[in-house]
């Protein structure tokens, strides 16, 4: 959906501009191509530090109020009236949870994960790029806001540009402390597909990672394909285990294996861009 950016007025307020991209990510309980919700947006704004930005079922007390809706297009009853608020009172963009109940707001990016609850202090947005998400009941919908401080522009391809910027976040490691692995082009595509959610900073959720990896690699969900992927990942896990001196095989080693891949995420930029350039498709069983 192509949406023209909304501007909140002339620059001011002492804070750099903040680009906000909104996506109502739906169908998350079904195995669909994650690129559908990663690379498309439903609305966008370009803010300066003079305004406050709020989202929820019926937000009030903010300058820019984003009403979150459910499948029927009506107010989402699963979210509070005012769930979250973004403002720059002291020249730094800050996220606060204004829910009166137990609603959590997730702040994520590659290598970043925060759960913001109503008692949490204001979370200063220190990264150039991050995602803010709140879940509807049942887990089938996430309301996602991609926040880019100081750019990029809100034209075509801006969401992808923001995601790419996240790979090269200032101060973020791009190689592991034991040296960069000698991944082939095929290895990089496989790992970029395997860690696609983490590389795009998506909020954590239960995923059928193997099937999603094959879908992103444009391979059919056959037993032969699953065995091929298992063999490739086994070889890459073995190499990572040797480099780190830790056994990363099997499910127990998966979290550390993913951390290792993310530590070397700068090597996967071209492979991720290649995956994102392909058409999205449904996962067939």
* pLDDT over 60 (residue 11): no
- Residue 170: what pLDDT? 42
Q: Is 161 helix (H, G, I), strand (E, B) or coil?
A: helix
Bridge pairing between strands 43-47 and 18-25 = antiparallel
CA–CA separation, 125 and 71 (whole Å): 30
Residue of higher predicted confidence among 33 and 64: 64
E strands, the chain, are 6-7, 18-25, 43-47, 53-56, 64-67, 84-87, 94-97, 105-109, 112-116, 123-124, 129-135, 142-149
**Average pLDDT value over all residues in the chain:** 83
* pLDDT over 90 (residue 101): no
Q: What is the pLDDT of residues 41-79, one digit of tens each?
A: 899 999 988 889 999 999 999 999 999 987 777 888 888
Q: Is 219 helix (H, G, I), strand (E, B) or coil?
A: coil
- Residue 2: what pLDDT? 32
* pLDDT over 70 (residue 270): yes
Q: What is the pLDDT of residues 129-167, one digit of tens each?
A: 899 999 887 778 899 999 999 865 544 455 555 555 555
Q: What is the pLDDT of residues 177-229, one digit of tens each?
A: 456 799 999 999 999 999 999 998 888 877 788 999 999 999 998 999 999 99
* pLDDT over 80 (residue 116): yes
Which tokens hold the place of 64? 């820019």
Mean pLDDT of 234-260: 93
């Amino acid at each position: 959906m192509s949406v023209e950016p909304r501007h909140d007025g002339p620059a001011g307020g002492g804070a750099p501009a903040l680009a906000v991209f909104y996506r109502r990510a739906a169908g998350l309980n079904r195995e669909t191509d994650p690129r559908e919700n990663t690379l498309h947006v439903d609305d966008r704004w370009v803010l300066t530090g003079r305004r406050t930005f709020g989202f929820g079922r019926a937000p009030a007390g903010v300058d820019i109020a984003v009403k979150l809706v459910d499948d029927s297009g009506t107010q989402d009853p699963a979210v509070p009236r005012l769930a979250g608020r973004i403002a720059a009172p002291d020249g730094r963009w800050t996220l606060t949870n204004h829910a009166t109940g137990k609603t959590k707001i997730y702040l994520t990016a590659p290598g970043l994960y925060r759960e913001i609850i109503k008692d949490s202090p204001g979370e200063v947005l220190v990264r150039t790029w991050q995602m803010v998400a709140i879940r509807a009941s049942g887990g089938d919908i996430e309301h996602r806001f991609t926040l880019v401080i100081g750019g990029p522009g809100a034209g075509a391809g801006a969401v992808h540009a923001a995601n790419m910027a996240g790979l090269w976040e200032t101060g973020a490691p791009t190689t592991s402390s034991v040296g960069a692995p000698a991944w082939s082009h095929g290895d990089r595509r496989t790992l970029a597909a395997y860690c696609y959610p983490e590389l795009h900073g998506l909020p954590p959720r239960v995923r059928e990672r193997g099937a999603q990896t094959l879908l992103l690699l444009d391979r059919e969900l056959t037993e032969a394909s699953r065995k091929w992927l298992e063999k490739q990942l086994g070889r890459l896990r073995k190499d990572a285990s040797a480099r780190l001196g830790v056994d990363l095989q099997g499910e127990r080693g998966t979290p550390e294996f993913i951390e290792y891949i993310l530590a070397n995420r700068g090597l996967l930029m071209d492979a991720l861009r290649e995956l994102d350039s392909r058409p999205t498709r449904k996962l067939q069983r």
